[in-house]
Amino acid sequence: MQTREWPRALVTGGAGFVGSHLCERLVDSGTEVVCLDNVVTGSHRNVAHLEHRANFRFVHADATDDTAVSALPGRFDLVLHFACPASPEDYLQLPLETLEVGSTGTRNVLERARRDSARFVLASTSEVYGDPLEHPQREDYWGNVNPIGPRSVYDESKRFAEALVTAHRAVSGTDAAIVRIFNTYGPRMRAGDGRAVPNFISQALRGEPLTVAGDGSQTRSLCYVGDTVDGVLSLARSELHTPTNIGGSDEVTMLELARRVIEATESRSRIRFVERPVDDPAKRRPDTTRARECLGWTPRVSWAEGLRRTVDWFVDGALAA
């Protein structure tokens, strides 16, 4: 695996959950980082601690604005495209915006990467597999997606973005890769963003019932955000262009996850079952053989340690945000 260095990097969606951790890691490594975000679902608060760093710049703009993307000064060596609503709570409220950032936004950022001869990484998702009929999910599985269901605005946005990246590489030779990120958790998740870990933690800390969808038998595989960032940057440094899964091996039912959160927070909350969302995947676990063999990547942070860090962050002020 080739090691690359990046004097300058552009991170779209850099004020979001995973994007802000990428910005922080790159800034700490000495890379000059431009964080572009429209803060519709992200928050300036996520990168405020980087503002005093000489090698960090925040640009309030939208990736779908071609003028804003093309006018950014200087040349970039690395472009990470993470701009997109990522939680059901967000993309169901912003369906057209989600589709647009996956299409127009991806095209704009790809063109910038091509112009600068930069390494490009698209943040895709396990949602491209839909409600999978194969388990675990390998990168060569095409998925089982409802193209007109309520989740399709996110699923198909990412599937189209993957097709666009693949076509752009074939036509223009863009040095582009695709990372399929599975369920990631950690500090800077919004308390009410609709995903299980922040929902359960915030409910437990407030003493409210933890709302488990359906009978709670559906599974997710959890990965701490620091491990996810390691995987993304390992892919960026590599020569890989094929889609690559990055995710945890700790497959857990939603009912068991709720119980773990109650135990970790020492909460007296109980569990309340609610209606399961339409097209909610029954199982989700990545086959990470490609990442392990080609990138030397495996998750390192245990669930117990990752949950402790996440709970501490919520206790320290996320609930008041």
Tokens standing for residue 296: 């030397």
For residue 16, give the amino acid letter: G
The active-site residue out of 91, 129, 141, 154 is: 154
Tokens 């405020």, residue located: 48
Q: Cα separation of 155 and 167, whole Å?
A: 19
Tell me whether the omega of the peptide bond preceding residue 198 falls within 30 degrees of 0, making it cis.
Answer: no
DSSP state of 109: H
Best CA proximity match to 221, nearest among 245, 191, 188:
245
Query: Which segments of the chain are extended strands (E)?
Result: 8-12, 32-37, 56-60, 78-81, 119-125, 176-181, 184-185, 210-213, 219-224, 244-246, 250-253, 271-274
Tokens 């936004």, residue located: 105
Percentages helix, strand, coil for the chain (3-state, rounded to 5) are: 40, 20, 40
3-state SS string over 186-236?
CCCCCCCCCCHHHHHHHHHHHCCCEEEECCCCCEEEEEEHHHHHHHHHHHH
**Cβ atoms 125, 184 nearer than 8 A:** no
Classify the phi-psi angles of 55: left when phi > 0, otherwise alpha if psi is within -120 to 50, otherwise beta. Answer: alpha
CA atoms within 13 A on the CB side of 89: 12
Catalytic residue check, 154: yes
Q: Cα separation of 282 and 253, whole Å?
A: 10
Q: Cα separation of 268 and 273, whole Å?
A: 16
Residues with active-site annotation:
154
